Each structure stands twice: as C-alpha cells, then as structure tokens.
Amino acid sequence: MKIDVTRKLPEHVETLVFIHEEDASLEGLEFVDEELKAELESYIKAENFSFSYGKMSSFTRMLSKKRQVIILCGVGKNADLNSSRLRSIFANCWRKANSLKSHQVYVLMSFEPVINDVILGHVLAESALLSAYKFNKYISSDEVHEIESIHLLLSTKNTRHINRGILEGRIYAEATNLARDMVNEPANIMNPESLADHAKKAALQYGFSIEIHSMDKLKRLKMDALLAVGKGSKVDPRLIIMRYSGNPDKKNQLTALVGKGLTFDTGGYSLKPGPSMVNMKSDMGGAAAVIGTMAAIATLKLKVNVVAIIGAAENMVSGEAYRPGDIITSMAGKTIEVLNTDAEGRLTLIDAIHYALEKEKADRVLDIATLTGAAVAALGHDFSAVLSNNSSWLHQLKEASDFSGEMIWEMPLHEPYKELLKSEVADLKNIGGPLAGCITAALFIGEFVQDKPWIHIDIAGQATKDKINGIYSYGATGVGVRLLTSLLRSME
C-alpha cells in the first residue's frame, strides 16, 4: 500500500476522506471548492451530521461524469485529539473506504492537528497497514478488496517529519503483522519446531542472529522445567535465542526479552474445559511479540543490545506428559511442585529467564506472556497487566504505552503473597490458589530474576480479538510489538 503526503489535489479524486472538527466552519477551507462546500453543507444539514469524535458517514456525488465518494469523519475537538484517538479515527476511515471499494484515497484534515508531525505520519501508516490486515491464507476463494494508496493532503507544512513518521509507522505495523501471522497460524501447523523455523526466517529477512537449541542441548543445560511442560507432545521443545547488537561498544547494557511460546495449551492433565481451550493456539503470543520486536528494532537499527529468548513447547496430554504432583528441578536449581499442569507458562519462562541471565549475561529482563486468565478477569481485553521490581524502567514502559497506544495497567508486586507459593515438599509450588492469580504468577517468576531490573507483561487479555474494529482484525492483535519497540527506542 502506498502512503504519502501530497500538496496537490488531482483533477479527479475517487475517494475523499474529509476529517473535520465538531462545530467548525466550512468557510475558506483549503482543497474545498465552492461546489464541494455546498454539497457538504447540504448533506450535513439533511442528515443532521455532527463531527463529534468517531462519527462517520459517506455520500457519493458525480463530478464531471465520474463518481466520487466522500467520507465524512469527526474528530470532536482538536484539543482533545491524541495519537490513540487519531489512530483509531484513521483506521475506521480506511475500513469505511475499503467497504466502499475505494482504490485511491485522499485525506483532507480541515484543521492543523495538535499532534507532532512524526507521530502524525506514524499513526497514518500504522493505522493503514494494521487495519488492512486479514489472515486469509486458508480461505480458498477470498476476494479481499485492498486500498491501493492513501494520500494525506497538506499544503503548507514541511513534509520531512511526516514522511519519517510514515516510514517508522510502516516498520511498526509490518512487524506487528508478522507477529499476527504467527499467532493466527493453527497449532497443527505451528508447533515448537515450526515456531523456531518462523523465527529463523524472520532473522534472515530482518537481519538479526539466531540460535536454536533442541532436546539434547536442553537436557545438558538442565532446563527441566521447560522440558517437563513439553513432555506430553510429539514435537520436542526448542529454545530459540535471537540476538541483536545495535550498540556493541556498550557491552554492559544487554536487555533480555523473554516470550512465552506455548504453541498450544491444552492444560495438560489439569485439562482445560473445551471452551477455554479453543483459542489456545494463541498461547505463543508473547513469543510472536518478541520475534516481531526483533524484526522492528533491527529494521530501525536501534542502538540497543537485545537478546530475545523463547522456550517453545506444546502442553499436551499423553503417557509421557508431566503430572500434577510431579516435582521438577528448574535450571536455576530451585525445585517446583507442580500442582496444576495448566500453570505451565511460568515454568517455561523461568528456565528461559535463567538462561538469559546466566548464559547470555543479560543486565535486565522483560518477559511477555499470555499467562493468566486472572489478568483477563481483572482488566478485560483492552489492557495488559504489568508488574515490575524497577519503577524507573516501568515508567519508561508507561511512556512507551502512551506512544504506541497499547494499553497497560500496573498490578502490585505484593511480596506477602509469596506465602501463597510455599510448598510442603519443594522450594515452590507452581500455583498460588484462587486469589490474585495474576500477581502470584508474577511473584513466581520474580523468584528467578536475581534482583535484576525486571518487567513482567501479562498479555492474556490482549493477544486476540473476536471483533473487527479499527486497527484490530479478527484473531491475533500482535500486541507487544509496538509497545516493546517503543520501549527499546526510549532506551537508546
């Protein structure tokens, strides 16, 4: 899709998106001739249309014997506009234009938005590419309509910053769509081995290095927690290690990103009830987020050093599978009583985190995981839960969240609840009981971060959507890519 800024309105425009403020006048607007102004006025009057935030409508008119589509879109008050609002307004405009089978779309914002130019370009590209995404590779005859080009009409402004934003927004969106593709892939196709292959392909394409450890190596490394989770599957677990050194001189600043990579989660012997299991191909959403982030930061050539680790496994039921009551020894040496085989994510994460700290010598670690139903119960589908032992790093994440529009909410890392993880027969048990499940899951992981700066992001609620809306298509959201890329950018 072509996305650019233009100073000229061509003679014939097939589709014009007119974005306007509530209660603002139509007098003296650039690119709006008397004829269009009169048509807008009469349509607005006849339909009693207001340009309040998110309002949209459309009409067609004949212009020198050619059909023209006009899409009207309200922003409310310019002063209330922010990047998230604009992203969602834009995305809904593109969806509307798409449903009207537009090919070339010209966009006229009748006011100077209170948003800096780089961000304007960024959300323009991001909204276009994210809203156009559809996972249709398994539909035999899907005739999808696609907008070919979007042109933002601007007369006076210097376009340099907007164009830079467009380039960056493209990178963010493409990396997000890469993550979406992986998460949407069903588990009969996406297993620990093929997830490693996908990561390899991304490494080659985007320019970061990768190493895959298979069974023998995992055994030698004593990654028994990861191995236990994957025991029930026909496909062995893999450890995927991706490295990007954008700042090789600063050897002491290495950030580890650890993504949960359960290619399917049946719950194991603590079997999930049917309806809770259906969406569990998305249990590698954290893994997809870190792969997408690596792709984005390598393309942006960020001056940061990052190692991304995925402990990929499939949580299945079989004669080989681990059982409730099993006691396993994690790579770190701590023993764990498995009281619920469905609390498997944390087991894979702690071995991956220990590997990141011990073998890769990471200085700080961020893990991202579709970890608990409790996070979904607490925050619903619009927020990811975050917990951290480091307030300044968390503050940076909150700013990254504002920039990216991927919303987070902090939960307390409440030390006294560690009591709930005490076992009678091992160092820890893998569940903390019915209360505060999102917090006890984080506290469990926190036992393995060696007091290094650490952020935990539970994306269980945000990883998939079952409603198409704005930038979100059906299925995977690719959540985490834009958030983590923005975070790493602030750490340059």
Which residues bind to ligand BES, rule: CB under 6 A?
A: 265, 283, 340, 342-345, 370-374, 376, 431, 437, 460
Is 272 an active-site residue? Answer: yes
Contact between 314 and Zn ion by CB under 5 A: the answer reads: no
What minimum distance in Å lies between the beta carbon of 267 and Mg ion?
Answer: 5
Residue with tokens 């609620």: 461
* Binders in 316-355 for Zn ion, by CB under 5 A: 345
Q: Which of 12, 119, 9 is nearest to 404 (CA)?
A: 119
What minimum distance in Å lies between the beta carbon of 126 and ligand BES?
Answer: 25
- At 188, list the tokens: 């009969």
Per-residue string for binding with Mg ion, 301-340, x by CB under 5 A?
----------------------------------------
Query: Cβ closer to ligand BES: 82 or 340?
Result: 340
Residue with tokens 């792709």: 295
Selected from 14, 185, 236, 342, the binder of Mg ion by CB under 5 A is 342
Q: What are phi and psi of 97, to 5 degrees?
A: -60, -40
372 binds, among ligand BES, Mg ion, Zn ion, none (CB under 5 to 8 A by kind): ligand BES
Q: Which of 472, 463, 385, 402 is nearest to 173 (CA)?
A: 472
376 binds, among Zn ion, Mg ion, ligand BES, none (CB under 5 to 8 A by kind): ligand BES
What minimum distance in Å lies between the beta carbon of 382 and ligand BES?
Answer: 14
Contact between 458 and Mg ion by CB under 5 A: the answer reads: no
d(CA 416, CA 214): 38
Query: Cβ closer to Mg ion: 345 or 475?
Result: 345
340 binds, among ligand BES, Mg ion, Zn ion, none (CB under 5 to 8 A by kind): ligand BES
In the set 272, 303, 334, 452, the catalytic residue is 272
Query: Cβ closer to Zn ion: 345 or 480?
Result: 345
Q: Which of 219, 228, 421 is nearest to 324 (CA)?
A: 228
Q: At residue 388, what is the residue type?
A: S
Per-residue string for binding with Mg ion, 263-282, x by CB under 5 A?
--x-----------------
In the set 180, 260, 346, 364, the catalytic residue is 346
Per-residue string for binding with Zn ion, 274-293, x by CB under 5 A?
---------x----------
Query: Cβ closer to Zn ion: 373 or 453?
Result: 373
d(CA 283, CA 261): 7
Q: Which of 415, 230, 265, 421 is nearest to 334 (CA)?
A: 421
58 binds, among Mg ion, ligand BES, Zn ion, none (CB under 5 to 8 A by kind): none
* Binders in 347-406 for Mg ion, by CB under 5 A: none
Total count of residues recorded for the chain: 492
- Site residues for Mg ion per CB under 5 A: 265, 342, 344
Catalytic (active-site) positions: 272, 346
| Residues near Zn ion (CB under 5 A) | 262, 265, 283, 345
